């Protein structure tokens, strides 16, 4: 082969477009030689005097990162032997100010020491140092101390045995069950790296609508082989369990949690699991929810079910994460109230190693929900948070929605459970009620797509979730900027533009999708607008159940005159939200049925305000496209084109949402579309026909 051809081949490989696979761990060479040299002064050697797996990972990750960023080999040695410019990795169990996974980074005279109380702490410290370099901050006098505020920081995968993912929009499952345990896909390790880099330390690998297959000896081998890959990254594996497993795979006649044989079966199962996976995390359970069996099938309650599993896991230090996502098919009841009503009476009745995992809002991962009232009511039960990263109600992987503002909005909400300032964050990080167990979970948005999340910018949701799970006081803006700089561009003006785009994306989505507190849970096609949908096997699976449009107005009356769900909040919250004049506009239709002609605080009537939001929301997608176009020169071409294409689809669909809502609601409001907005060009019938296409089998 002639040299020209070889050169061209190498050149094209080096310059190949970025497909997003490397996530935020790119470590491309820092272009500015001066900056490289200044970093290199404190990064000549990595010193590690241990072969323990997590520490080895830490040193190797540091080496990979530094070599990429600085463009030269950085050896790992057992002793610095007086050389300056070294990075020393060390564990000090007695280190004050840190909790178990915390780290301290100090740079003194060009020698950096990364100290953890445990091996994992060192690993997190390594990623924090790399982050500093990736975001081009000075490390000269670095002095950083950080400890996670929440103990269990997890991803929940809703992945099935057949590789499908419930509500997954980025390809198939990452887990290749038919190849495991013999073949280990290299991607499992990449997954672990990415998670460790943002502080995630646990993962539930299978769907909460669980298959009992995962508890068989055959599948436990497979699960154990994944656990082996995750362990050196400080990540524990967990399983979702099918409550009646003692019947389906254990040959018992019952799964009654108070039956001694059933208890014995779970004890034996736990023992079997821990033989294979000594650091197994525990079980996640969806029971008596959306048709899943559970303890209530035997006349028992959630605590009975959770406690039985907890006792089986306790000798091994495992935990039970019991989900509070429950509601019965009762058309007259308000689904909003269901979980609170079932769980509040059980406060204090759970075993010590049980945590109740609550979705951020009372209904179901809507684009905007008030915080779940459960957070303000169970001081004696550790409550964990469940956020959804996958965009079930946020436009799948097509629409751009940066979710950190959703997470922050919930975490910063004041429950008033212990007086003013009792934020949801303080409940779940345990500081308010001194919970011994704390947890936060994100329903994963990952899949087999090369770029992991389908929408390239949806990686930011995975990233921000992990970082907030570690420290919920970080701002949505800082995290967006961090992710953009590490992943898309270090050019400050473009990074700022993309950060800005991310930050406003959620509000834009809400405006064209569910403004002023409208909601649209499960109504058949999660993807398409269907406000007219009024038929289903259960009343609370229709759209009309939620929005309650009629000739008078719109919205669900949850005041004392309606379902009185507001009574589930503390009086301070009730006072503000029960009065339509003081209820924040974003939550208005969550709690009130408002007349079409009622003047809102914006000076417009409800109808005009709705129209204005639907229209301006849809128009803003056009503005987002322009903003994205303006950063073209600083973004990898493949990523640029990918996002640009998705924004075009988003624009089309935003108009679709706008037209569906406006035309449908107009049949009730009988009001004209206010100027300066123009009547949609299509008819309601035409929009409905479009939606029907998405329902065809």
Catalytic residue annotation: 290, 364, 392
What kind and span of H or E run contains 59? helix 53-70
DSSP 405-473: HHHHHHHT-B--BTBTT-BHHHHHTSTTTT-S--EEEEE----SSTTSSSSGGGHHHHHHHHHHHH-TT
365 near ligand GCW, judged by CB under 6 A? yes
Binder of ligand GCW out of 24, 27, 127, 158 (CB under 6 A): 158
User: Which of 27, 39, 238, 325 lies at the binding interface for ligand GCW (CB under 6 A)?
Assistant: 325
Least distance in angstroms from the C-beta of 522 to ligand GCW: 5
Other CB atoms within 10 Å distance of the CB of residue 583? 22
Rounded Cα distance, 165 and 167, in Å: 6
Secondary structure in 3-state letters for 612-668: HHHHHHHHHHHHHHHHHHCCHHHCCHHHHHHHHHHHHHHHHHHHHHHHHHHHHHHHH
- Interaction pattern, residues 277-296, with ligand GCW; x per rule: CB under 6 A: ---------x---x------
CA 41/CA 139 separation, integer angstroms: 10
Q: Out of 47, 62, 194, 208, which residue is the one contacting ligand GCW (CB under 6 A)?
A: 208
Question: 319-323 and 45-47: which strand pairing?
Answer: unpaired
C-alpha to C-alpha distance for 410 and 234, rounded to whole angstroms: 28
Q: Which is nearer to ligand GCW, 327 or 416 (CB)?
A: 327
Tell which one of 38, 90, 113, 209 touches ligand GCW (CB under 6 A).
209
| Residue number, 388 or 642, with CB nearest to ligand GCW | 388
Nearer of residues 274 and 527 to ligand GCW, judged by Cβ:
527
Instruction: Give the footprint of ligand GCW on residues 484-503 (CB under 6 A).
Output: none
DSSP single-letter state for residue 105: E
With contacts defined by CB under 6 A, how many residues of the chain interact with ligand GCW?
12
CB 157 within 8 A of CB 204: yes
Residues 524-563 that bind ligand GCW (CB under 6 A): none
Taking CB under 6 A as the criterion, the residue among 60, 166, 279, 572 binding ligand GCW is 166
**In angstroms, rounded to a whole number, what is the distance separating the alpha carbons of residues 84 and 497?**
40
What distances in angstroms separate CA 68 from CA 28, 30, 125, 133, 416, one per listed residue? 5, 8, 18, 11, 49
Q: Site for ligand GCW (CB under 6 A): which residue of 136, 167, 187, 538? A: 167
* Cβ 309 to ligand GCW shortest distance, Å: 18
Q: Does 145 bind ligand GCW (CB under 6 A)?
A: no
Q: Which residues 376-405 are close enough to bind ligand GCW by CB under 6 A?
A: 392
Output the smallest distance, CB 358 to ligand GCW, in A.
11
Nearer to ligand GCW, 401 or 687 (CB): 401
Q: Is 319 among the residues that bind ligand GCW (CB under 6 A)?
A: no
* Per-residue exposure over 394-407, b if at least 16 CB sit within 10 Å of its own CB, e if not: bbbbbbbbbbbbbb
Quick one: which of 177, 387, 509, 522 contacts ligand GCW (CB under 6 A)? 522
Provide the minimum distance between the beta carbon of 209 and ligand GCW in the complex, in angstroms, as a whole number. 5
| Angstrom distance (rounded) from CA 305 to CA 443 | 23
For residues 65 and 384, which CB has a smaller minimum distance to ligand GCW in the complex?
384
Q: Which is nearer to ligand GCW, 167 or 316 (CB)?
A: 167
Q: Where are the alpha helices (DSSP H) in 536-587?
A: 544-547, 571-577
Per DSSP, the chain holds a count of helices (H) and strands (E) of 21, 16
Q: Contacts with ligand GCW in 450-469 (CB under 6 A)? A: none
> Which residues of the shown chain bind ligand GCW in the complex (CB under 6 A)?
158, 166-167, 208-209, 286, 290, 325, 364-365, 392, 522
């Amino acid at each position: 082969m002639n040299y020209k051809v070889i050169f061209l081949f190498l050149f094209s490989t080096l310059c190949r477009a970025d497909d997003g696979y490397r996530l935020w761990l790119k470590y491309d060479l820092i272009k500015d030689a001066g900056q490289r040299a200044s970093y290199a002064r404190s990064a000549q050697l990595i010193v590690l005097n241990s072969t323990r797996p997590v520490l080895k990972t830490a040193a190797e990750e540091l080496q990979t990162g530094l070599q990429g960023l600085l463009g030269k080999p950085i050896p790992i040695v057992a002793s610095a032997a007086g050389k300056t410019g070294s990075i020393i990795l060390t564990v000090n169990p007695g280190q004050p100010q840190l909790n178990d996974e915390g780290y301290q980074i100090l740079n003194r005279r060009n020698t950096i020491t990364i100290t953890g109380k445990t091996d994992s702490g060192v690993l997190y410290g390594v990623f924090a140092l790399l982050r500093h370099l990736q975001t081009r901050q000075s490390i000269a006098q670095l002095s950083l101390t950080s400890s996670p505020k929440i103990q269990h920081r997890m991803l929940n995968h809703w992945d099935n045995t057949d590789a499908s993912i419930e509500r997954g929009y980025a390809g198939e499952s990452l887990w290749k069950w038919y190849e495991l345990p013999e073949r280990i896909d290299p991607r499992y390790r990449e997954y672990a790296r990415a998670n460790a880099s943002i502080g995630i330390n646990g993962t539930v690998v299978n769907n909460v609508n669980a298959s009992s297959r995962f508890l068989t000896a055959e599948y436990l081998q497979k699960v154990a082989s994944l656990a082996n890959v995750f362990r050196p990254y400080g990540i524990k594996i967990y399983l979702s369990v099918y409550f009646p497993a003692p019947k389906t795979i254990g040959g018992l006649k019952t799964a009654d949690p108070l039956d001694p044989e059933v208890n014995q079966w779970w004890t034996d199962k736990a023992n079997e699991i821990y033989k294979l996976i000594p650091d197994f995390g525990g079980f996640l359970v969806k029971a008596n929810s959306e048709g899943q069996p559970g303890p209530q099938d035997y006349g028992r309650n959630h605590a009975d079910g959770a406690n039985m599993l907890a006792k089986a896991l306790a000798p091994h230090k495992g935990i039970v994460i019991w989900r509070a996502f429950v509601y019965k098919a009762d058309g007259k009841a308000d689904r909003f109230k269901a979980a609170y009503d079932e769980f509040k009476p059980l406060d204090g009745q759970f075993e010590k190693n049980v945590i109740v995992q609550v979705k951020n809002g009372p209904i179901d991962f809507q684009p905007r929900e008030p915080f779940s009232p459960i957070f303000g009511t169970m001081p004696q039960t550790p409550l964990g948070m469940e956020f959804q990263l996958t965009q079930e109600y946020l436009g799948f992987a097509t629409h751009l929605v940066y979710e950190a503002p959703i997470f922050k909005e919930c975490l910063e909400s004041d429950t008033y459970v212990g007086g003013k300032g009792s934020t949801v964050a303080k409940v779940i990080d345990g500081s308010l009620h001194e919970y011994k167990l704390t947890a936060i979970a994100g329903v994963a948005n990952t899949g087999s797509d090369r770029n992991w999340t389908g929408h390239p910018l949806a990686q930011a949701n995975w990233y921000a979730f992990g970082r907030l799970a570690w420290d919920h006081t970080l701002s949505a803006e800082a995290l967006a900027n961090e992710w953009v700089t590490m992943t898309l561009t270090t050019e400050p003006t473009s990074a700022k533009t993309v950060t800005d785009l991310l930050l406003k994306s959620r509000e834009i989505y809400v405006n064209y999708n569910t403004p002023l507190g409208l909601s649209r849970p499960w109504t058949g096609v999660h993807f398409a607008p269907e406000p007219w949908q009024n038929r289903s096997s259960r009343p609370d699976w229709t759209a009309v159940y939620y929005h309650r449009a009629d000739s008078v107005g719109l919205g669900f009356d949850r005041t004392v005159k309606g379902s009185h769900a507001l009574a589930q909040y503390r009086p301070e919250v009730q006072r503000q939200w029960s009065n339509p004049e003081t209820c924040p506009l974003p939550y208005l239709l969550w709690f009130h049925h408002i007349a079409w002609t009622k003047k809102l605080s914006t000076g417009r009537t409800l109808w005009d305000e709705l129209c204005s939001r639907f229209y301006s929301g849809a128009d803003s997608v056009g503005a987002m496209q322009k903003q994205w176009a303006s950063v073209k020169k600083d973004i990898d071409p493949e990523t640029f084109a990918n996002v640009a294409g998705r924004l075009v689809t988003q624009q089309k669909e935003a108009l679709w949402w706008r037209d569906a809502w406006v035309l449908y609601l107009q049949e009730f409001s009988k009001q004209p579309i206010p100027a300066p907005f123009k009547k949609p060009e299509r008819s309601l019938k035409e929009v409905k026909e479009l939606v029907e296409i998405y329902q065809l089998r």
